[in-house]
Amino acid sequence: MPSPSLLLRALHADITTLDCDAIVNAANSSLLGGGGVDGAIHRAAGPALREACRALNGCRTGEAKLTPGFRLPARYVIHTVGPIWRGGRQDEATLLAACYRNSLELARQHDLRTLAFPCISTGVYGFPAHLATPIALRTVREHGAGFDEITFCCFSTADLRLYEAALAGTK
């Protein structure tokens, strides 16, 4: 059960501007940067982020790894690799849930209390946003104990509407 003090919120923002303990990056398995939110985070954090990621030797889909935030307002970046959507019958839902669960677990190990997620896998990786949103919300509700605030950072208003409806308990 989520802790009574856990605040979940949806925000229409650029995740690189959020001043929280950690922002989550929707990375690829190389962890060496890319487009989308990955590219934005690396641009904002500066070149030291890529060097720190290089030392991590990649990341498997569903796993999560931590680096400092460098020039970002956020103190840390949690890099996770979402599943590529292949029609929904290749464990994509399980792997996406693992991204959220493992990111929360890693944050908890480092005593982080405020966290922001992008809409993992719903861009380049093609995971339908209306299917990803309930997975994200359910996983964070189940594993969000011990956090003060978890933000679903939506880059589009369409995503924001999906999260606001899901948070309000309506489909």
Query: Which residues lie near ligand APR (CB under 6 A)?
Result: 14-16, 26-28, 34-40, 82, 118-125, 153, 155-156, 159
Which residue's CB is nearer to ligand APR, number 39 or number 134?
39
Nearer to ligand APR, 3 or 150 (CB): 150
Phi (first) and psi of residue 24, to 5 degrees:
-100, 135
* Nearest approach, Cβ of residue 153 and ligand APR (Å): 5
Residue 123 CB, nearest approach to ligand APR (Å): 2
Min separation Cβ 3 and ligand APR, Å: 26
| Residue nearer to ligand APR on the CB measure, 27 or 136 | 27
Tell which residue, 132, 139, 151, 137, has the closest CA to residue 105.
139
| Least CB distance to ligand APR at residue 5 (A) | 25
Q: Are 163 and 137 in contact (CB under 8 A)?
A: yes
Q: How far is CA 37 from CA 24, 32, 124, 142, in A?
A: 9, 13, 10, 25
In the complex with ligand APR, the residue whose CB is nearer, 2 or 36, is 36
Least gap, CB of 16 to ligand APR (angstroms) = 5
Looking at the Cβ atoms of 13 and 66, the one nearer to ligand APR is 13
Give dist(CA 16, CA 57) in Å, integer: 23
